[in-house]
Chains A and B, each alone.
Chain A
Amino acid sequence: MSTSAIPAAPERPLPTPTRESQPYWDGMREHKFQLQHCASCGKVRHYPRPVCPHCFSMESRWEEAPLGGKIHTWTVCHHPFNFFFKQAAPHVVALVDMDAGVRVNAPLRGIAETDIRIGRRVKLGFEPVTKEVTLPFFVAE
């Protein structure tokens, strides 16, 4: 006896938070862009990790960071390497130099492909995709 031939809708790949990154995802869920800072020398680091590569301290704290930034570069994704993204294609993913001094890769919305420029100001927004996970996106500042 065969089961239904209709494939299940493809599911969005979701992050699996680690013990180091959990506070980042907790912040995103509360619509806060929180970054890890060294408790000893104060330097920011992203992505989250156990040791400060500058002073080797293992103590860190999480601080809310500003949402603004400038486009560093971008790509327009046409081929959906994961079928979940087939409906959205083509979609722009921008890599942004955040004012906080780290970069974030996220979908860029509301700016025509021909108007994208290095250095253009954008702002990070929050999009809940499950009860647990909220993902970033960018719009013009």
Chain B
Amino acid sequence: MAHALREKAGVSGIGETAYTRGTSKSGLALQLEASLAAIADAGLSPRDIDGIIPYFPGGGIAEDFIANLGLPDLTLSAFIPMGGATCVAALQTAAMAVATGVCKHVLISVGRTGYSGARVSTRLQQFPQFALAAEFEAPIGLFAPAQLYAQGARRHMELYGTTVRHFAEVAVITRQHAILNGNVVMNKPLTVEEHHASRMISDPFRLFDCSLESDGGAAVIVSAADRARDLKKPLVTIMGVAEGHPESPASIAQRPDLLEFGLVKAAARAFPMAGVGPKDIDVAEIYDCFTFTVINQLELLGFCKKGEGGPFVMNGGIALGGELPINTHGGLLSQGHVVGLNHVIELTRQLRREAGKAQVKDAEVGLVTGYGDMGDGSLAILRRAA
């Protein structure tokens, strides 16, 4: 029997602000600007929004959305505190809400002043999910995600022979894709040599292995499949969606396998729900907080065997025109850091065939992942409307 949520909901609207380093706008203003763009893209009025899932912590809450958008009757206000896994996990919650009739149109949104506001070193200290890292690891000098994830990357290199050349390939190709997009923070080509010469952050991660600290807002609307007639554009259908939580969720250090996280559980549910497998995926937007995390996720998703993610990304396989084009918008590494909601937006564009110079030819089915809070994972598989 088909999963109860399969193809019952879809992405109906997408919106984003300019991605920059430096802005005079507040995170809330960026979030609302992107939200209004997404609502217009869907062909709806702000008054039609009856569910909101804002990124949290940081950004607006229900009170802000009601006050600014005049929402007449909000029936759902939810937070999903999963860090970088939040936005894709929110697709599941939104799909549940619209498929059951609790909501008609759910707005998922992010507004972030990651460059002009609080930077990574101070922002995360406030997250309850980072309490163990703050107590046991910050005092010995280990706190930022770049440091915590570096230990996993080092282990992968030691066990499987993965190299910084593999990391560089992810950075270079992601940059090539960003340049095609245009609305990006990093708009100049990057070479392997420049990657290798960039300053060391936390070995083995160099500067160009790390995602951006940037300013920007992003938003998507999820609507019920049976409301497609009310919308301006064809719905991009959610075939499969799931979230997953790892063992030892608040501490990477204590996790039995540092290289396994919630995405494994999410994939075990989302692929069967969608009725497709890795071979059916035409384009993949992979949460790229670090270059290595892309390599790791390609393994966990089953695109290659464990330990073979490094060789998999070489020889153009993940570039446009390759076997599995990834991060066709430039990702968090080169476009901007809006916690991966830009990945959902890009996949929607690809499946609408609105991706311009970065369009994957004949894209029918794609996937998007989320990865955050030191190990939460989420996966959505979307399909072009028939």
Partners in one complex: yes
Contact of A47 among B136, B146, B147, B150 (CB under 8 A): B136
Residues of A within 8 A of B3 (CB): none
Residues of B within 8 A of A135 (CB): 139-140
Q: Which of B89-128 contact A (CB under 8 A)?
A: 120-121
Judge if A88 is at the interface, Cβ distance under 8 Å.
Answer: yes
- Whole-angstrom distance between the Cβ of B291 and the nearest chain A Cβ: 15
Q: Which of B19-27, B66-74, B151-159 contacts A (4 or more CB under 8 A)?
A: B151-159
Contact of B140 among A81, A103, A106, A118 (CB under 8 A): A106
CA distance A111 to B272 in the complex (A): 48
Judge if A139 is at the interface, Cβ distance under 8 Å.
Answer: no
Judge if A128 is at the interface, Cβ distance under 8 Å.
Answer: no
CA distance A73 to B151 in the complex (A): 6
Judge if A42 is at the interface, Cβ distance under 8 Å.
Answer: no
CA distance A76 to B204 in the complex (A): 8
- Whole-angstrom distance between the Cβ of B157 and the nearest chain A Cβ: 9
The reply to whether B143 and A81 form a contact with Cβ atoms under 8 Å apart is: yes
Interface size on B, residues (CB 8 A): 33
CA distance A16 to B151 in the complex (A): 24
User: What does DSSP make chain B's interface, helix, strand, loop or mixed?
Assistant: helix
- Whole-angstrom distance between the Cβ of A124 and the nearest chain B Cβ: 12
CA distance A137 to B155 in the complex (A): 20
The reply to whether A81 and B144 form a contact with Cβ atoms under 8 Å apart is: yes
Max chain B Cβ within 10 angstroms of own Cβ: one of A82, A88, A102, A135 = A82
Judge if B268 is at the interface, Cβ distance under 8 Å.
Answer: no
Judge if A126 is at the interface, Cβ distance under 8 Å.
Answer: no
Q: Please name the residue on chain B nearest to A129 by beta carbon.
A: B139
Q: Please name the residue on chain A nearest to B141 by beta carbon.
A: A85
The reply to whether B200 and A76 form a contact with Cβ atoms under 8 Å apart is: yes
- Whole-angstrom distance between the Cβ of B133 and the nearest chain A Cβ: 9
The reply to whether A79 and B251 form a contact with Cβ atoms under 8 Å apart is: no
Judge if B362 is at the interface, Cβ distance under 8 Å.
Answer: no
- Whole-angstrom distance between the Cβ of B307 and the nearest chain A Cβ: 14
Given contacts A81-B121, A81-B144, A93-B147, contact A105 B155 (CB under 8 A): no
Judge if A95 is at the interface, Cβ distance under 8 Å.
Answer: yes
Q: Please name the residue on chain A nearest to B252 by beta carbon.
A: A95
Contact of A82 among B141, B200, B203, B251 (CB under 8 A): B141
The reply to whether A82 and B155 form a contact with Cβ atoms under 8 Å apart is: no
CA distance A132 to B370 in the complex (A): 40
The reply to whether B155 and A77 form a contact with Cβ atoms under 8 Å apart is: no
Residues of A within 8 A of B258 (CB): 72-73, 95
4 closest cross-chain pairs (CB), A and B: A76-B203, A73-B155, A75-B150, A81-B144
Q: Enumerate chain B interface residues (CB-CB to A < 8 A).
A: 120-121, 132, 134-144, 146-147, 150-152, 154-155, 158-159, 199-204, 251, 253-254, 258
Extra contacts, 9 of them, besides A16-B134, A75-B151, A77-B203 (Cβ < 8 A), are A14-B139, A47-B135, A75-B202, A80-B141, A81-B143, A91-B141, A93-B141, A105-B151, A133-B139
Q: Enumerate chain A interface residues (CB-CB to B < 8 A).
A: 12-18, 21, 46-47, 72-82, 84-85, 88, 90-91, 93, 95, 102-107, 117-118, 129, 133, 135-137
A-B contact pairs, 16 of them (CB 8 A): A15-B138, A47-B254, A72-B155, A72-B258, A73-B258, A76-B202, A77-B147, A77-B203, A78-B202, A82-B143, A91-B141, A93-B140, A95-B253, A103-B253, A133-B139, A135-B140
